[in-house]
């Protein structure tokens, strides 16, 4: 690291709550002398999140990858899992890690979520589940996917890592699918440093998932079944309780930056994400799609030259990972080569955003 890092503008910047807020929560942990396993802060955090998001059931976990793994372990049964090539690597890696087989279905060219009209053609007698990503917080076609799943008796898991606070048709997007998951990683919209959560719709699913995330324990001397450790600690809950009160402010400020981009970027040269109808979005990312990869690389270099670091989210397309066999998803491959996420955080001034825009629009 050099001394200039404070001058850098990165694609994300972690929100740090006032340190006094965090210290107040830490004091409670010290008073309780309790660091993990269903502690007071964990319980309060679960309850507050449930109310904040309006979800049915929540299990906070230690990151956003383990809840996907746990859901696949419980629901996909080592079968073929229909999935999207346009997501973060965790979406595919968890499928392979759970000894299931990813079957990639191409994405919609504007919504960038899995193309629901192509799912049925990919179903075989080995298919057990669909794992789709609400990419950039943009919901998949959840009703169509639910109907397909019902017809073919498949489970639906949504990687909703980007979806904190997103609602679709007036309710939390986490209330769709058999299971939805979220990430509370430091780079995400809402964070606990490392962290995440699993959401589900009924008590019996919650029980199954809860056992799995705590070694399968059913009391100290009895085991319900196979499990691992995905528990969220009191230290993570302390960060969550400190960040949560600022979410309204964070979303307002991110909206300001997005609105500025919307108003001033030259959209004759770029495409932007098309949000699904009936979505109340969370301003989690600002992706733009260039006409060519060459154009993207030119603009990226120009920005980097000024210490501005956008990121190629999501590149490459996941079907190109070395441990899966390629299915040739042409649209995902093409979009992945041309999409760039622009800097988006609450500290960006309009002046800084203006500079970024100038560097992009300039030809
Ligand atoms: C961040 C992310 C994850 C992983 O979450 P972690 O909390 O980092 O484990 C999974 N899927 C997607 C789409 C993500 O962006």
Report how far ligand 1's centroid is from the alpha carbon of 89 (Å). 8
* Å from CA of 185 to ligand 1 middle: 7
Residues in the chain: 363
The pLDDT score that the predictor gives to residue 3 is 42
Interval between CA 228 and ligand 1 midpoint (Å) = 19
Q: 10-residue block means of pLDDT along the chain (363 residues)?
A: 61 94 98 97 98 98 98 98 98 98 97 98 98 98 98 98 98 98 97 98 98 97 97 98 98 98 96 97 98 97 94 94 89 97 96 96 80
Q: Is 91 in the pocket of ligand 1 (CB under 6 A)?
A: yes
CA of 63, closest atom in ligand 1: 7
**Tokens representing 149?**
């799943």
User: Three-state SS string across 272-323, please?
Assistant: ECCCCCCEECCCCCCEEEECCHHHHHHHHHHHHCCCEECECCCCCCHHHCCC
Residue 95 beta carbon below 6 angstroms from any ligand 1 atom: no
Ligand 1 centroid to Cα of residue 269, in Å, is 30
E-strand ranges in the chain read: 9-10, 57-61, 80-83, 101-104, 127-133, 155-159, 167-168, 171-172, 179-183, 196-200, 270-272, 279-280, 287-290, 308-309, 339-341
SS3 label, residue 182? strand
Ligand 1 atom nearest the C-alpha of 133 is 13
Residue with tokens 């080569």: 337
Residue nearest to atom 13 of ligand 1 (CA): 88
CATH dotted code for 246-361? 3.90.1150.10
Q: What is the per-residue pLDDT for 7?
A: 73
Nearest residue (by CA) to ligand 1, atom 2, is: 161
For ligand 1, atom 6, the nearest C-alpha belongs to: 64
Considering the entire predicted model, what is its pTM?
0.96
Q: What pLDDT score does 4 carry? A: 47
Scanning the structure block, which residue is given the tokens 């600022």?
246
Q: At what angle do helices 293-304 and 350-361 cross, to 10 degrees?
A: 140
Q: Candidates 3.90.105.10, 3.40.640.10, 3.90.1480.20, 3.40.50.2300; correct CATH number of 19-245?
A: 3.40.640.10
Instruction: From 67, 90, 186, 317, give the residue whose CB has the most ligand 1 atoms within 8 Å, as the site to mutate.
Output: 90
Q: Where in the chain is the domain with CATH 3.90.1150.10?
A: 246-361
- Measured CA to CA, the distance from residue 95 to residue 261 in angstroms comes to 36
At 128, list the tokens.
Answer: 């057990």
Tell how strand 196-200 and strand 179-183 pair up.
Answer: antiparallel
Q: Is 161 in the pocket of ligand 1 (CB under 6 A)?
A: yes
pLDDT exceeding 70 applies to what percent of the chain?
Answer: 98
Token pair listed for 253: 């400020």
Mutate to test the pocket of ligand 1, among 65, 93, 174 (most ligand atoms within 8 A of CB): 65
In short, whether 134's Cβ falls inside 6 Å of ligand 1 is: no
User: What is the gyration radius of the CA atoms in the chain, in angstroms?
Assistant: 21
Whether 93 lines ligand 1, by a CB cut-off of 6 Å, is no
Where, residue-wise, is CATH 3.40.640.10 in the chain? 19-245
Q: Is 26 helix (H, G, I), strand (E, B) or coil?
A: helix
Distance of CA 253 to the CA centre of its chain: 20
pLDDT digits (tens, 9 = 90+) for 176-208: 999 999 999 999 999 999 999 999 999 999 999
| Residue whose C-alpha is closest to residue 286's, from 210, 232, 341 | 341
- Report whether 261 contacts 342 (CB < 8 A): yes
């Amino acid at each position: 690291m050099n001394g200039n890092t404070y001058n850098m503008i990165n694609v994300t910047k972690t929100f740090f709550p006032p340190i006094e807020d965090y210290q107040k929560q830490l004091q409670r942990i010290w008073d309780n002398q309790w660091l993990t396993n269903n502690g007071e802060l964990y319980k309060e955090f679960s309850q507050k999140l449930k109310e904040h998001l309006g979800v049915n059931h929540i299990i906070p976990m230690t990151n956003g990858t383990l809840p996907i793994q746990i859901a696949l372990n419980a629901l996909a049964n080592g079968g073929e899992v229909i999935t999207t090539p346009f997501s973060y690597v965790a979406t595919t890696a968890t499928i392979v890690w759970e000894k299931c087989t990813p079957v990639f279905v191409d994405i919609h060219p504007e919504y960038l979520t899995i193309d629901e009209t192509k799912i049925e053609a990919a179903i075989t007698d080995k298919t057990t589940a669909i794992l789709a990503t609400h990419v950039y917080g943009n919901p998949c076609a959840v009703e169509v996917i639910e109907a397909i799943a019902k017809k073919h008796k498949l489970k639906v898991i949504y990687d909703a890592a980007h979806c904190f606070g997103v609602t679709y048709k007036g309710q939390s997007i986490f209330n769709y699918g058999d299971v939805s998951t979220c990430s509370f990683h430091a780079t995400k919209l809402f964070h606990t440093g490392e962290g995440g959560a699993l959401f589900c719709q009924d008590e019996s699913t919650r029980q199954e998932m809860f056992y799995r995330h705590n070694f399968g324990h059913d009391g100290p001397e009895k085991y319900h079944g196979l499990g691992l450790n995905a528990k969220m600690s009191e230290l993570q809950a302390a960060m969550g309780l400190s960040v949560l009160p600022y979410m309204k402010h964070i979303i307002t400020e991110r909206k300001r930056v997005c609105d500025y981009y919307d108003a001033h970027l030259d959209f004759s040269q770029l495409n932007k994400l098309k949000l699904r109808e009936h979505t109340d979005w969370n301003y989690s990312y600002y992706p733009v799609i260039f006409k060519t990869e060459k154009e993207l690389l030119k603009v990226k270099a120009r920005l980097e030259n000024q210490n501005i670091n956008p990121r190629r989210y999501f590149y490459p397309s996941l079907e190109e990972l070395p441990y899966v066999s390629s299915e040739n998803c042409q649209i995902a491959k093409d979009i992945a080569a041309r999409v760039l996420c622009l800097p988006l955080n609450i500290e960006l001034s309009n002046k800084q955003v203006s500079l970024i825009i100038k560097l992009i629009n300039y030809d």
